[in-house]
Structure 1
Amino acid sequence: MDLDIEEAEGACHCGTVRFRVRLKGGLRTARRCTCSYCRMRGAVAVTAERGGIDILAGEDALSLYQFNTMTAKHYFCSRCGIYTHHQRRSDPNEYGVNVACIEGISPFDFDEVLVSDGVNHPSDRARPAGSDTVGVLRFIPHK
């Protein structure tokens, strides 16, 4: 797996929503989050800058979900229900993109994924940059 890919294409499960993404930091930005929504969604997300996602097909099938402060915008396919990307609350100039939707990438390709503290969100209190990591999620396949 090339952790330094800069651009990739992806789609939801049914293929209705298709997109091209320009990644900021490649796959090295892979993260999970502990907030209530991300915890239930279970996705691994990588980073793209605002304007870094081009919807190639199915824009009319994208549904939007917002909660709490209504700052983050979570998009998913209205047909198959798969989360494709979200505009971040911590930085509205960035998107998180579901790695499982990126062609050729699986969340299980990562040995470790950093976990961000979404329960104690950085937008809710000041803290030093980079101090939002609260753990590591590991995938250890059976031999």
Structure 2
Amino acid sequence: MGQRAVDRYIGSCHCGTVRFAIETDFPELTTCDCSICRRKNALMVKVHESAFELLAGEEALTEYRFNTHTARHFFCSTCGIYPFHRKRVTPDWVGVNVFCLDGFDPEGIPVRATDGAGMS
């Protein structure tokens, strides 16, 4: 598969209160087996904070931290959807739930499983 172009994608929570934009070429998508990711079953793309822009809904975001309280998981306080999180090991990167991206189809992008459960 050839390299994808870096494009801008718009995403949102279910109710549309939280809206954001990312720029990425989708080098890979990731899943995680930590206790929260198993439950939310998100498929994520990692983007640097410079390629992420929160467009609307900052006041509606609810933050959840657990275990080491380093990773910052964000949820819409209106509809409950998880659109993104600040990563634990690389906090200047954002893990974005690709199912929140408008019109995005993950077909054909490699998926890497990460070992979140094994992190101490």
User: What's the TM-score once normalised by structure 2's chain length?
Assistant: 0.88
1:115 equivalent in structure 2: 113
Kindly indicate whether the alpha-carbon contact (under 8 Å) linking 1:4 and 1:28 is maintained by their aligned counterparts in 2.
no
Cα pair distance change 1:100/1:120, threshold 3 Å: same
Shift of 1:110: 4.7
Q: Number of paired residues? A: 118
2:13 equivalent in structure 1: 12
1:88 equivalent in structure 2: 87
CA distance in 2 between counterparts of 1:93 and 1:41 reads 22
Shift of 1:106: 4.4
CA distance in 2 between counterparts of 1:111 and 1:53 reads 20
Shift of 1:14: 0.7
In the alignment, structure 1 residue 51 sits paired with structure 2 residue 50: yes
CA RMSD of aligned residues (A): 1.8
Shift of 1:112: 5.2
Structure 1, unmatched stretches of 5+, are 125-143
Taking CA–CA contacts closer than 8 Å with sequence separation of 6 or more, which of the two structures ends up with the larger relative contact order? 2
Shift of 1:105: 1.4
1:38 equivalent in structure 2: 37
Shift of 1:93: 1.5
Shift of 1:70: 0.4
2:23 equivalent in structure 1: 22
Which region of structure 1 is more displaced relative to structure 2, 72-81 or 109-118? 109-118
1:128 equivalent in structure 2: none
CA distance in 1 between counterparts of 2:105 and 2:99 reads 5
1:41-87 Cα deviation digits (max 9, x unpaired): 10001011123321111111111010010000001111111101100
What secondary structure, in the 3-state scheme, does the structure 1 residue paired with 2:14 have?
coil
User: What's the TM-score once normalised by structure 1's chain length?
Assistant: 0.75
1:16-64 Cα deviation digits (max 9, x unpaired): 11111123xx222210001111111100010111233211111111110
Shift of 1:104: 1.0
Poorly superposed stretches of 4+, deviation over 4 Å: none
CA distance in 1 between counterparts of 2:97 and 2:47 reads 11
2:61 equivalent in structure 1: 62
